[in-house]
Amino acid sequence: MMSLIVGVLVLGGLGLVLTQAPQGAAQTPAPLVTYPDFPPTPTVGPNPTAPAGLASSNVLFESSFADASALAAWQFVDQTYVLPDLTAAWEVRNGRLVQVGSGAARNPSPNEAAALVGDATWQDYTIRTSFYDEYNGVVGLIARYQGTEPTQSSYYRVRLFSTEYQVSPKVVLEKVVDGVVTTLAEAKTAGFTPRMWHTLELSVQGTSVQVQLDGQMLVVAQDSNPLPSGRAGIFTFAISGIFFDDVMVSIP
């Protein structure tokens, strides 16, 4: 009798296993970690075109970066000292100027990088560019650049930070003389929104220096001892992840 009872229990248990896990069916364990669905990377849409009034001005220089030959007009410099094999790298990609990190490996770097264009005799003008920032976080423009050694040169520069950067101020307009930086004006809350196109302008007219973002004035400064003339340029960090297009330098 005891053997019969044990046999019934064994057969019942085996039947329960077979009903829950049919022969040949593998048991899939539950995942240890469940990751959320990340949204796709935003598509970089078309950049804004230059306003008609600016486009009809007396243009000193313009580039839409149609192909890699556009790089020949620019001088690329690091504004802080770096080893020769770690200099900032730039490319033309899909009709845009792209900062792509530093060195042959294109590694991200916090070094300050600039792209210069034009003539040392340029005096009063506006440099304008469209830009799209994916994750770099810093964009800027340069005017009246004089010098051959970046750490000892003189120029005006605006630095504009992304709203996602936990820094203040968000806008800094500077005068650099022989490598020594002086702040002319700043604003604490006027950063730019990443992952969308913007237009940035830096104007130098006599003693006046002005910065506009998307047609809105950010900062204005008067320099009683202004830098006389010099080349124009673009500024960012060698982190990569930022595009420039439709650069234009024009005079009134």
Distance CA 101, CA 109 (A): 6
- By mean pLDDT, which of 37-41, 85-89, 151-155, 221-225 is the weakest? 37-41
Q: Which two tokens stand for residue 228?
A: 């006389």
Residue type, 125: Y
pLDDT at 57: 58
CA atoms within 13 A of residue 105's CA, in its CB half-sphere:
5
Q: Are 155 and 184 in contact (CB under 8 A)?
A: no
Q: Which two tokens stand for residue 233?
A: 């340029």
Task: Give the confidence band of 82 by pLDDT, cuts at 50, 70, 90.
Answer: confident
Examine the pLDDT at 97 and tell me if it is beyond 70: yes
- By mean pLDDT, which of 32-41, 53-62, 112-121, 193-202 is the weakest? 32-41
Q: Which two tokens stand for residue 10?
A: 């064994």
Residue entry with tokens 């990569």: 240
